[in-house]
Chain A
């Protein structure tokens, strides 16, 4: 779960990492107040999309009056599909140099990784590998001050900056660990008046660890439909096609989306109805697909723990209640397959037993694909 910039900054400040003076802005009056207090400021839209500067999500205000007008224009504006509800007013900085630092998890080495570079201010992917210093953390030891000193030395930092940097590494790792972060990043890590300051920050929390962070504000990303399906407890991603898809298990759902595309169709979504979903959630998921008004609905089930008769019951339930007004293609094999297929046949739905012809048929019914 991504955190807004102002929350990431708060987390840094709580650990004693210097951040620029700033204030959260909910109304145009707040913006005027903020500039009165901190002077000329950047007004930054608090949305979870990258590249907000280029999209008009960061604007500058010299006077309280200008801040009021700018905030008026920004609040409620649409930024890459997200409505701007809050701004963060932050004092304009006189930046001398821009560095980079982050703590994240190295999936291959299975330990935390600290990355730093003297070439900050751009996405780290655009920085040459030779300019990035990487140090891996032994999770049993954590990050002690020596770890930061070594890193500062590798970067070639001297004097005050080296000292401040070493100190900052320890604090940043503390945030990573205490907050169950997937990523905590300061970019740019600015040099202002000869001292380090976090000019921009990202903090992503591990979704699986949210149960032990009750006080962290829940920020749901995604479209209204994605949020709705997530509330049912299912994994869902909106795509831009018109063949609605449901499968059981994440891998199967991905493969099903791929299969539709393979035959030249346009998948409308990724929906994992769960490795062992029962009638009710499956019916709820199918309801969502119907509500999307797709050209075709394709259900692809390999019943392992999921029982085919449960899936069939869910399909019939939705057919009888909401109704399924578009063509439906069902592929159903595995546990209780005979019972499931029989139930569907009674309702006039024939099921496929192989994935390929079923996916091809779905594409054909949508009037897409290779002819």
Chain B
């Protein structure tokens, strides 16, 4: 099984005729994702890899019954795209673009809460459910395999590194969720952990966090009642304060968002916290054999 994204999800691609949209539509189809349509205003009647293109989400939903959408449009237009999806009945929206204004993200997330929409991102690699052979995202297809581990991460390539080490170490994954690297994103560690808690197939969880904000500290509070083994790895130990480490959200501001604070909270909550990415598999082996 999987969380949030299953093989039944019918997926739209907003911005399907752009470079990224085309490339990743192909990749998603190759993985097995059920991509039922693409959106590109003015380009209706085209096809991308056999996927029909529509002018509006409204049209696409009417014709295909889509319930999920992945957004590839440039950041300045991302708010419009997200609202178009949400207002037309889409219930899972994955926001790939980086550099979406925080004010736009606040508006998107606020509306999503009102409508009960799940927003993943912005600035995320997406979500993949290996056992269901489906993904909405830009992650490489070959590094995952089905299995009992849930992964929730703030960063893309680092989560690939860790997912691949899990796969090689014999730990397949139920679902891997990218929260996104921005200050304001749709998911928290807690919201994703709740899904993993309910999912009978998920036996343990790997959290990949980083400096900035206090999502890890908040998660630690929740972990006390989580009931499944958790291994956490956090990046940014050597990061100087006041500097943005690539992600808009990865910054130690005025003494807040430090790695020490996060590791301390997670350790106190019973998570197995490792210092380096290559230590995750051993820690997981130990945590799941207890």
Chain A positions within 8 Å of B, measured between CB atoms, are 105, 107-108, 110-112, 123-125, 138-140, 177, 180, 182, 206-209, 211-212, 235, 237, 239, 247-255, 257-262, 267, 270, 272, 275-276, 302-306, 333-335, 354-356
Question: Is B140 interfacial (CB 8 A cutoff)?
Answer: yes
CB pair B215 A257 closer than 8 Å: no
CB pair B158 A107 closer than 8 Å: no
CB pair B250 A237 closer than 8 Å: no
- Tell me, in angstroms, the Cα distance from A335 to B143 when the chains sit together: 10
Q: Which residue of A lies closest to B114 (CB)?
A: A140
Mark each residue of chain B from 201 to 243: 1 if its CB lies under 8 Å from any CB of chain A, else 0: 0000000101101110010000000000000000111111001
CB pair B236 A254 closer than 8 Å: yes
Chain B positions within 8 Å of A, measured between CB atoms, are 75-76, 99-107, 109-110, 125, 138-140, 143, 153-161, 164, 181, 183-184, 188, 208, 210-211, 213-215, 218, 235-240, 243-250, 254-256, 275-278
CB pair A251 B208 closer than 8 Å: yes
Neighbouring A residues of B159 by C-beta, 8 Å = 251
Supposing A112-B106, A139-B106, A249-B158 touch, asked if A304 and B101 sit within 8 A by C-beta, the answer is no
CB pair A275 B213 closer than 8 Å: no
CB distance from B189 to the nearest CB of A (A): 10
Neighbouring B residues of A254 by C-beta, 8 Å = 155, 158, 210-211, 235-236, 238-239, 245-246, 250
- Tell me, in angstroms, the Cα distance from A333 to B167 when the chains sit together: 14
CB pair B249 A208 closer than 8 Å: no
CB pair A253 B107 closer than 8 Å: no
CB pair B156 A275 closer than 8 Å: yes
- Tell me, in angstroms, the Cα distance from A163 to B161 when the chains sit together: 56
Instruction: Name the one of A108, A138, A209, A267 contacting B103, with C-beta atoms under 8 angstroms.
Output: A209
CB pair A251 B276 closer than 8 Å: no
- Tell me, in angstroms, the Cα distance from A7 to B45 when the chains sit together: 50
Neighbouring A residues of B255 by C-beta, 8 Å = 125
CB distance from A224 to the nearest CB of B (A): 16
- Tell me, in angstroms, the Cα distance from A334 to B142 when the chains sit together: 9
CB pair B239 A107 closer than 8 Å: no
CB pair A304 B245 closer than 8 Å: no
10 smallest CB-CB distances across A and B, nearest first, come from A251-B155, A250-B246, A249-B157, A251-B158, A209-B101, A254-B235, A235-B246, A272-B246, A304-B140, A252-B157
CB pair A108 B215 closer than 8 Å: yes
CB pair A258 B157 closer than 8 Å: no
List 4 additional A-B contacts (Cβ < 8 Å) besides A125-B254, A276-B138: A107-B215, A177-B103, A251-B246, A260-B238
Neighbouring B residues of A247 by C-beta, 8 Å = 157
CB pair B237 A258 closer than 8 Å: yes
Instruction: Name the one of B188, B246, B278 contacting A108, with C-beta atoms under 8 angstroms.
Output: B188
CB pair B139 A107 closer than 8 Å: no
Q: Which residue of B lies closest to A334 (CB)?
A: B140
CB pair B102 A212 closer than 8 Å: no
CB pair A180 B101 closer than 8 Å: yes
Supposing A208-B102, A251-B235, A254-B235 touch, asked if A304 and B156 sit within 8 A by C-beta, the answer is yes
CB pair B157 A302 closer than 8 Å: yes
CB pair B103 A180 closer than 8 Å: yes
Supposing A180-B102, A335-B140 touch, asked if A255 and B235 sit within 8 A by C-beta, the answer is yes
